[in-house]
């Protein structure tokens, strides 16, 4: 629907008194036109790719939903043998062999203030951010989806500061809150 079509569909008013906002309950014609124009522009913006979708990998951790940006996740692996490394801290279960490439595995629950996971066979999201690659233990892969960036809201202000700094945003998925994690900041925190 273009502007001309919008204008034709709007009811025309010949009586000036009806334009008086104080006497009519209907929205003003100009407001209706402006509103429709804005809606069409938003729609066009999306279609033109001005706001392109972002892919997210949603997974569960200790009963809650979390997400990484899709471009940061190379693949999801079934949890297999993890070789423990002497001297590694508790949040680093060890190393895995991915088709001959040795990758680290980290457990980020502690950074997010989450309790121990009761899930027996956890999965590994093979993630990459900047020059750092690592597997991240997850409980379960939930979904891979593409959404508009505008649907990602800032992190909740009520979150603990240490946790909040690791969060890129919040979004809703099937009626549940999903916390989008900032992988770069998590990796940085691990190396500090």
Partner 1 sequence: MMGTASHSSNSSLRLLVFTVGGVKLAADAEQICSMLAYDQDDDCDITYWLHEMLSFGNREVVFRSPEILTVSLQETIYRIVIDQPEDIIYIAMNRIQPLPALVEPFSQKKGLWGAVALDEQIILLIDFLKLISITRNTGPNRFCMREKPSLQ
Interface with partner 1 (CB under 8 A): 81, 83-89, 92, 95-97, 100-104, 106, 131-134, 187, 190-191
Count of beta carbons in the 10 Å neighbourhood of residue 189: 15
Shortest CB 59 distance to partner 1, Å:
19
Shortest CB 73 distance to partner 1, Å:
16
Burial of 74 (0-12, 13-18, 19+ CB in 10 A): middle
Shortest CB 137 distance to partner 1, Å:
13
In which residue are the tokens 């690659």 written? 133
- 3-state class of 169 per DSSP? strand
In which residue are the tokens 């471009």 written? 71
Q: Which is nearer to partner 1, 169 or 184 (CB)?
A: 184
Shortest CB 101 distance to partner 1, Å:
7
Give the CA distances from residue 75 to residues 26, 106, 125, 156, 188, in Å, rounded to whole numbers and listed in that order. 54, 15, 6, 29, 21
Q: Which is nearer to partner 1, 131 or 150 (CB)?
A: 131
Q: Which is nearer to partner 1, 15 or 81 (CB)?
A: 81
Q: Which is nearer to partner 1, 104 or 179 (CB)?
A: 104
Question: Distance between CA 168 and CA 133 in Å, rounded?
Answer: 19
Q: Which is nearer to partner 1, 106 or 166 (CB)?
A: 106
In which residue are the tokens 């979904």 written? 143
Q: Which is nearer to partner 1, 65 or 111 (CB)?
A: 111
Q: Where are the beta strands (DSSP E) in the chain?
A: 54-61, 64-69, 73-78, 94-98, 101-106, 123-129, 132-138, 140-147, 167-173, 176-181
Shortest CB 40 distance to partner 1, Å:
48
Shortest CB 7 distance to partner 1, Å:
60
């Amino acid at each position: 629907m273009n502007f001309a079509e919008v204008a034709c569909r709007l009811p025309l008013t010949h009586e000036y008194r009806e334009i008086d906002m104080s006497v009519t309950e209907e929205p003003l014609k100009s407001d209706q036109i402006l509103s429709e124009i804005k809606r069409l522009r938003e729609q066009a913006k999306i279609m033109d790719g001005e706001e392109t979708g972002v892919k997210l990998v949603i997974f569960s951790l200790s009963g809650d939903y979390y997400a990484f940006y899709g471009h940061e996740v190379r693949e999801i692996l079934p949890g297999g043998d993890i070789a423990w490394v002497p001297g590694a801290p508790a949040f680093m279960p060890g190393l895995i062999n991915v088709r001959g490439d040795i990758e680290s595995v980290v457990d980020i629950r502690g950074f997010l203030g989450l309790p121990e996971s009761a899930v027996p066979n956890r999965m590994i999201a093979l993630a990459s951010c900047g020059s750092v690659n690592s597997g991240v233990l997850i409980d379960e892969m939930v979904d891979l989806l593409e959404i508009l960036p505008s649907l990602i809201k800032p992190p909740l202000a009520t979150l603990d500061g240490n946790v909040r700094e690791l969060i890129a945003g919040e979004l809703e998925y099937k009626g549940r809150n999903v916390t989008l994690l900032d992988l770069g900041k998590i990796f940085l925190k691990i190396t500090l």
